[in-house]
Amino acid sequence: MEDVASSGNLPFKVTAVAAGEAHTLLLTGDGRVYSWGRGTLGRLGLGSEQDQLFPAQVKFGSQDSVRIVGIAAGAYHSL
pLDDT digits (tens, 9 = 90+) for 3-55: 445 555 667 899 999 999 999 999 999 889 999 999 998 899 999 999 999 99
Q: What is the enclosing helix (H) or strand (E) of 5?
A: helix 4-7
pTM, full prediction: 0.82
* Alpha-carbon distance values, 5 to 9, 10, 13 (Å): 7, 6, 12
Delimit the domains of the chain by residue range: 12-78
Mean pLDDT of 42-71: 88
pLDDT at 8: 59
Compute CA distances 32 → 2, 4, 8, whole Å: 23, 18, 19
DSSP label at 66? -
Phi, psi values for residue 38, rounded to 5° = -80, 130
Give the DSSP H or E segment for 41.
none
Q: How confident is the model at residue 2 (pLDDT cuts 50, 70, 90)?
A: very low
Taking the C-alpha atoms of residue 46 and residue 39, their distance in angstroms, rounded to an integer, is 8
Contact 33, 39 (CB under 8 A): no
